């Protein structure tokens, strides 16, 4: 009876150790995801996410989800394949938004005095929720690549529409028609990205008038499928547990 | 029943503290606090002096407020890297095969805590100061590679997490039997990849000096950083190695004293 009690006490202790270990393990995981995914995004999406007046109908809905699917797909692979946790994409995008929101407020707004509206970050969370949902329900990376990858990119623009639509209202300024976002951009000079570097609304796609955005979203959705597959494979490569004997 | 209770109490009283595996918990919290306090302090310093003294690198006051900070950082890093490497190597475990299960479990906790401090340093360098660099470039025309934010992100942020990453690798090598004889591919990639951001600074500054001055963040002069940071994904493999080993250790711990 005593040894049974000891065994129970030992089992409880092991459960406690295991849970404490999981909790402590979360801290480096989340911090490294914030630090690295955020850095990857600012150096690939960069100004399309930094500035309100870069969030156009053509490039922003393509560049952001296509670059943004990288870490979610790779982390999702590892967490699902080895730990059966269908939360990889959502965790990544929440970390990303947290990292971006902190910096936008404390760096752009409080240090260099840009209005927070000009530097609002976009969110990838709705697409990531769908990506995880498709994986959870289909239990297939193949289906997730096709359906989840497409949804991740396709919902990006509509999911952010409620946040940024007010700034796309037309306004006449000094005799020219532009958006409120453009006026905000012209009002706050940015020597690092002068106007001649603002890559928005370029190319013949704008001749499609109101179809420009759906076409961009659809294009992003199609391209997100192979990119999801590629990043899943990269996630697989980095999930290796190999050891080597020497360098 | 009372006899059983007293016996269990007796067993527990002879056991170490109920949180024996968190032996380095206080040091961990202290280290996290130290990293955060240092970076918050630096951010406040930037807020107080960057606009007044950091806009023109040819002014004598720039030397006082910013180049002096740069020299302090470099001195600190040299001392810190020597201290960390020396400490870990000189106090290495030379009898790892005789390691008790409890001790190994405790060391895994410490290893993860070290990873937490590394993660905190990665966060400040890669996320906060990494993007804050763009905020500064949009507010001031650059006339030097040593701007008030570069001095922090490139010459403190990146080296600091590199040193902590090296420490993480060395800790595993010198204290954990799993990593004693063989070299873990994912752990090495997870540490060496982000370290490569440091040499990428050279490519970046070369690009901005001879190619174009503007700070389009998605431009190819920054791709060195991007590719390097992707290697942090090897954290996945490292965690799988750790979880697998902890699982074995906890099974052994359950069987111990039965």
Domains of chain A in sequence order: 8-238 (1.20.1450.10)
* Alpha carbon distance B20, B22 (integer Å): 5
Contact (CB<8Å) B215/A193? yes
Beta bridge partners of A179: A170
Burial of A53 (0-12, 13-18, 19+ CB in 10 A): buried
| Residues in chain B closer than 8 A to A238 (CB atoms) | 186, 189, 231, 233-237
CB-based contact B141 A111, cutoff 8 Å: no
Instruction: Quickly state the pLDDT bin for A142 (edges 50, 70, 90).
Output: very high
Both tokens assigned to B16 = 């170490």
Quote the pLDDT of residue B9: 58
Distance from CA of A17 to the nearest CA of B (A): 8
**Residue B47 belongs to a domain with what CATH number?**
1.20.1050.50
B223, part of any domain: yes
CA distance A143 to chain B (A): 23
pLDDT tens digits along B222-242: 999 999 999 999 999 999 999
Cross-chain Cβ contact B253/A243 below 8 Å: no
Residue count of chain B, please give it.
258
Percent of chain B with pLDDT over 70: 93
Q: Which of B118, B138, B237 sits opposite A192 (nearest CB)?
A: B138
- What's the confidence (pLDDT) of residue A54? 95
- What pLDDT does B241 receive? 96
Is residue A162 exposed (0-12), middle (13-18) or buried (19+ Cβ within 10 Å)?
exposed
What residues in B contact A195, CB-CB < 8 Å?
A: none
Residues 195-224 of A with CB under 8 A from B: 197
Distance of CA A238 to the CA centre of its chain: 20
Is B212 at the interface with chain A, CB within 8 A?
A: no
For CA atoms A171, A176, A178, A182, the dihedral sign is: negative
- Interchain contact A7–B (C-beta under 8 A): yes
Whether residue B234 lies within 8 A of chain A, CB to CB, comes out as yes
Q: What is the pLDDT of residues B117-154, one digit of tens each?
A: 999 999 999 999 999 999 999 998 888 889 999 999 99
Within-domain flag for B15? no
Residue found by looking up tokens 């989800």 in the block: A65
Identify the H or E element spanning A179. strand A176-179
Residue, of B257 and B160, whose pLDDT is higher? B160
Question: Cβ of A5 and B233 within 8 Å?
Answer: no
Burial of A188 (0-12, 13-18, 19+ CB in 10 A): middle
Contact A148, A135 (CB under 8 A): yes
Q: Does position A25 have pLDDT exceeding 80, yes or no? A: yes
> Is residue B13 very low, low, confident or very high in pLDDT (cuts 50, 70, 90)?
low
A170-173 and A243-244 beta bridge pairing: unpaired
Residue B257: per-residue pLDDT: 61
pLDDT value at position B79? Answer: 98
User: Quick one: closest CA in A to B229, which residue?
Assistant: A36
Question: What's residue A5's pLDDT?
Answer: 74
In terms of Cβ atoms closer than 10 Å to its own Cβ (0-12, 13-18, 19+), residue A70 is buried
State whether residue A84 sits within 8 Å of chain B by CB: no
B132 — contact with chain A (CB < 8 Å)? yes
The predicted structure's pLDDT at residue B256: 81
Q: Is residue B218 in a domain?
A: yes
A31 contacts on B by Cβ (under 8 Å): 116, 119-120, 122-123
Residue A240 is predicted with a pLDDT of 95
**A53 shares contact with chain B (CB less than 8 Å):** no
DSSP state of B154: I
Alpha-carbon span A197 to B104, nearest angstrom: 56
In chain B, how many domains are there? Answer: 1
pLDDT band at A194 (very low <50, low <70, confident <90, very high): confident
Residues B65, B67, B71, B77: is their CA dihedral positive or negative? positive
- In which element (H, E) is residue B176 found? none
What does each C-alpha distance from B241 to A44, A148, B45, B236 come to in angstroms? 31, 29, 41, 9
pLDDT tens digits, B28-82: 999 999 999 999 999 999 999 999 999 999 999 999 999 999 999 999 999 999 9
Q: Is B220 exposed, middle or buried (0-12, 13-18, 19+ CB in 10 A)?
A: exposed
For the beta carbon of residue A217, count every other beta carbon within 10 angstroms.
Answer: 21
> Residue B226 domain-assigned?
yes
**B27 belongs to a structural domain:** no
Rounded CA-CA distance B156/B39 in Å is: 10
List, in order, residues 6 or more apart from A144 with CB less than 8 Å away: A76, A131, A134, A135, A138, A228
Both tokens of residue B228? 């390097």
Measured in angstroms, the CA of A246 and the nearest CA of chain B are apart by 6
pLDDT-derived band at A6 (thresholds 50, 70, 90) equals confident
The answer to whether the CB of A132 falls within 8 A of the CB of A76 is yes
Residues on chain A touching B135 (C-beta within 8 angstroms): 103, 107-108, 111-112, 114
> What is the rounded CA–CA span in Å between residue B109 and residue A200?
49
Structure-block tokens of residue B168: 């993480």
If you average pLDDT over residues A82-90, what whole number do you get? 96
- B217 touching A, CB under 8 A? yes
Is residue B10, in this structure, part of any structural domain at all?
A: no
Indicate the helix (H) or strand (E) that contains B13. Answer: helix B2-14
Query: What average pLDDT does the segment A201-212 reach?
Result: 72
Provide the greatest CA pair distance for chain A: 90
Among the listed residues B193, B168, B173, the one whose alpha carbon sits nearest the alpha carbon of residue B183: B173
Q: Does A171 contact B at CB distance below 8 Å?
A: no
Tokens 């965690």: give the residue: B239
What pLDDT, on a 0 to 100 scale, did the predictor assign at position A247?
Answer: 63
pLDDT reading at B7 higher than 60: no
- How far apart, in Å, are the Cα atoms of B206 and each of B115, B197, B202? 32, 14, 6
**Residue-range definition of the domain harbouring residue B52:** 38-255
Cα gap B66→B60, rounded to integer Å? 10
Nearest CA in chain B to A100: B127
Q: Which long-range contacts (CB under 8 A, 24 or more apart) does B81-89 make?
A: B81/B163, B81/B166, B84/B163, B84/B164, B84/B166, B84/B167, B84/B170, B85/B166, B85/B167, B85/B170, B88/B167, B88/B170, B88/B171, B88/B174, B89/B170, B89/B174
8 A C-beta contact, residue A52 and residue A183:
no
The interface residues of chain B toward chain A in range 71-100, judged by CB-CB distance below 8 A, are none
State how far residue B157 is from chain A, nearest Cα, in angstroms: 11
Closest Cβ–Cβ partner in A36, A71, A239 for B126: A36
> What ipTM goes with this model?
0.93
Any CB–CB contact under 8 A between A239 and chain B? yes
Are B134 and A243 within 8 A, CB to CB?
Answer: no
User: Strands A243-244 and A176-179: what pairing?
Assistant: unpaired
**What is the pLDDT, as a whole number, of residue B1?**
47
Q: How confident is the model at residue B97 (pLDDT cuts 50, 70, 90)?
A: confident
C-beta separation of A38 from A31 below 8 A: no
The reply to whether B29 falls in a domain is: no
How much of chain B exceeds pLDDT 90, in percent? Answer: 75
Query: Across the interface, do A191 and B8 touch by the CB < 8 Å criterion?
Result: no
Domain assignment present for residue B200? The answer is yes
Inter-chain CB proximity A28 and B132 less than 8 Å: no
């Amino acid at each position: 009876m005593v040894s049974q009690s000891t065994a129970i006490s030992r089992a409880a202790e092991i459960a406690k150790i295991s849970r404490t270990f999981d909790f402590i393990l979360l801290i480096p995981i989340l911090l490294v995801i914030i630090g690295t995914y955020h850095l990857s995004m600012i150096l690939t999406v960069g100004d399309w996410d930094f500035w309100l007046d870069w969030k156009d109908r053509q490039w922003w809905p393509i560049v952001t989800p296509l670059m943004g699917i990288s870490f979610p797909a790779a982390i999702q692979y590892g967490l699902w394949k080895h730990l059966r946790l269908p939360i990889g994409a959502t965790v990544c995008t929440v970390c990303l938004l947290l990292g971006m929101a902190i910096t936008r407020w404390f760096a752009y707004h409080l240090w260099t005095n840009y209005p927070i509206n000009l530097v609002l970050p976009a969110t990838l969370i709705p697409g990531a929720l769908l990506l995880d949902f498709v994986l959870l329900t289909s239990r297939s990376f193949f289906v997730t690549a096709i359906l989840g990858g497409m949804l991740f990119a396709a919902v990006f623009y509509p999911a952010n529409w409620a946040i940024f639509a007010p700034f796309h209202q037309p306004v006449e300024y000094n005799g020219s028609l532009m958006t409120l976002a453009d006026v905000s951009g012209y009002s706050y000079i940015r020597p690092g990205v002068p106007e001649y570097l603002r890559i928005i609304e370029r190319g013949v796609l704008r001749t499609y008038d109101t179809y420009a955005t759906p076409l961009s979203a659809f294009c992003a959705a199609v391209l997100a499928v192979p990119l999801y597959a590629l990043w899943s494979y990269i996630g697989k490569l980095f999930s290796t547990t190999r050891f080597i004997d020497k360098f | 029943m009372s006899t059983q209770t007293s016996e269990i109490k007796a067993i527990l009283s002879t056991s170490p503290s109920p949180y024996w595996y968190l032996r380095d918990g206080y040091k961990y919290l202290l280290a996290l606090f130290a990293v955060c306090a240092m970076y918050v302090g630096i951010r406040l310093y930037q807020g107080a002096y960057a606009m007044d003294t950091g806009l023109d690198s040819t002014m004598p006051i720039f030397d006082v407020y910013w180049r002096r900070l740069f020299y302090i950082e470099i001195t600190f890093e040299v001392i810190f890297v020597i201290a960390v490497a020396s400490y870990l190597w000189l106090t290495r475990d030379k009898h790892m095969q005789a390691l008790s299960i409890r001790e190994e479990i405790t060391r895994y906790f410490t290893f993860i805590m070290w990873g937490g401090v590394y993660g905190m340093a990665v966060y400040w360098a890669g996320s906060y100061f990494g993007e804050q660099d763009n905020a500064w470039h949009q507010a001031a025309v650059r006339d030097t590679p040593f701007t008030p934010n570069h001095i922090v992100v490139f010459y403190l942020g990146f080296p600091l997490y590199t040193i902590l990453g090296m420490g993480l690798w060395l800790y595993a090598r010198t204290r954990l039997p799993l990593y004693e004889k063989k070299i873990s591919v994912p752990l090495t990639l997870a540490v060496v990849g982000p370290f490569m951001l440091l040499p990428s600074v050279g490519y970046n500054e070369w690009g901005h000096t001879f190619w174009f001055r503007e700070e389009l963040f998605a431009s190819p002069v920054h791709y060195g950083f991007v590719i390097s940071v992707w290697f942090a994904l090897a954290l996945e493999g490292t965690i799988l190695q750790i979880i697998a080993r902890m699982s074995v250790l906890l099974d052994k711990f359950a069987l111990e004293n039965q």
